[in-house]
Amino acid sequence: MDGSPTPTVASCRLCGRPTYDPGKGDLPWARGVVDGRQVLVCPACQIERPDWTDGLDACKQCGSTRLSVALGEVICRQCGAVAGWVEESIL
């Protein structure tokens, strides 16, 4: 071992399924934010668990859970609000 960190495999927040490319026409993976960190939800959990958005952070301006994280900022994909996670707990 060279001491470098072990890569983390992205997986579904709910079931732990490793990421994969869905087939053409299939439901895509959903992105969300929990405690300022980007999370993924697989297509199967989106179908099987109608409450899959419970526990996701929500935008303080519009209430949407359609958030993503980029360069340390939480961005609302619904209204465009941007917040730095360190400075603010949630948009």
Query: What is the domain extent for residue 49?
Result: 30-84
In a domain, 47, yes or no: yes
pTM, two decimal places: 0.77
pLDDT of 6 reads 59
pLDDT of 50 reads 95
pLDDT tens by residue, 38-86: 999 999 999 999 999 999 999 999 999 999 999 889 999 999 999 875 4
What phi, psi does 46 have (nearest 5°)? -65, -35
In a domain, 65, yes or no: yes
In a domain, 5, yes or no: no
- Per-residue pLDDT, averaged over 5-12, amounts to 76
pLDDT, greater one: 89 or 23: 23
14 in the Ramachandran plot: left (φ > 0), alpha (ψ -120 to 50) or beta?
alpha
pLDDT of 72 reads 85
CA angle 52, 37, 43 (to 5 degrees): 35
- Output the CA torsion sign for 41, 65, 39, 82: positive
The number of domains in the chain is: 1
Task: Categorize the per-residue pLDDT at 22 as very low, low, confident or very high, splitting at 50, 70 and 90.
Answer: confident
In a domain, 70, yes or no: yes
pLDDT of 61 reads 93
